[in-house]
Amino acid sequence: METAAGDDCPAAPRGLVCVTGGSGFIGSWLVRRLLDRGYAFRATVQDIRAMSARRSTWRPLTARRRVSGCSRIQMDLLDPASVRAAVEGASGVFHLASPVTLQLPQDPEKELLGPAVKGTLNVLRAAKDSGVGRVVLMSSKAAMVPNPDWPANKVIDDDSWADVEILKKFKLWYGVSKTLAEKAAWDFAERDQGLQLVVINPGLVLGPLLTPSVNASLHWFLQLLQGRKMDMDLYMGCVDVRDVAHSLIALYESPSAQGRHLCMESVERLVDFTNHVADLYPELPVQRVKEDKQGWVVRARDPSKKLIDMGIRFTPLNVTIRDTVDCFRSKGLI
């Protein structure tokens, strides 16, 4: 087990939390916000040597505020001992790490589904055995749709679950993995009632990145900006990565927060989103959706009412899109 410590600094007044996937797109923003609020963190990475070679990437995450106990630790989600070493001693866990692939997996069970479920259960077992008070699980809107049994003309909410068989039929393996992992987590929490579990279900996550490479959602958006015709029949709306980070912390800090939490700025259709981007950037070859196939998506403003009631104020879509595009431009991606 390899670790890398943070710089010496004053003690963290809010204690130590573990962030799995702390070097990712969302995880890096979560780490920054945790530091802003006075937390120490232990962030897990798949390869500590690769992270150490990119210290210039990691350093900006801790530059604004330094607290003692900040560290990175190499962790294998499929190795219970490795997970236990990462979680032990933390007062809370943010479980963000999840297997994702930009390519269609050759063996979905081996590459995505099995690891997603096993990794999630390993984290929950380690948290329970280590006396962790609260686990915030990163799920997805992909665990909510498609749902053919959902009432027509009703906005999707936290009660909706994706139909796994439909997802498998259309080879939407990411949605299958998120659905199975979240269901396994809730089953575990029901059996082991001493563990406090709360879940966040964000839509398409966009916004400026602190990491050197783009993740799957940003890759999709980048392709749209570059002129590729995009099909995402299950698109329902997006959310700013900074709002996701704030929401994760709000769920951790609110003992009364329970259950699932849809996290989106608004519910819209893919035709709405592509038209919006094309109108903002007429100089870019954005392909508008010609045919709206998403009659099942009931548009709504402020759908994430539980998070809004907790004080989350979602970034307007225009701002998120512009900040993402500006970030891409600053990195020479467009």
178 labelled catalytic:
yes
Q: Is 135 exposed, middle or buried (0-12, 13-18, 19+ CB in 10 A)?
A: buried
For the residues of 72-84, what is the DSSP string, one character each? Answer: EEE--TT-HHHHH
CA–CA dist 23, 46 (Å, integer) = 9
Q: CA nearest 263: which of 286, 238, 287, 285?
A: 238
CA–CA dist 274, 271 (Å, integer) = 5
Say which of 118, 128, 154, 178 is annotated catalytic.
178
Q: Give rounded-to-5 percent helix, strand, coil for the chain.
A: 40, 15, 45
Q: Is 125 exposed, middle or buried (0-12, 13-18, 19+ CB in 10 A)?
A: middle
Phi and psi at 216, nearest 5°, equal -65, -45
The answer to whether 242 touches 60, Cβ cutoff 8 Å, is: no
Distance of CA 330 to the CA centre of its chain: 23
**Which amino acids are annotated catalytic?**
178
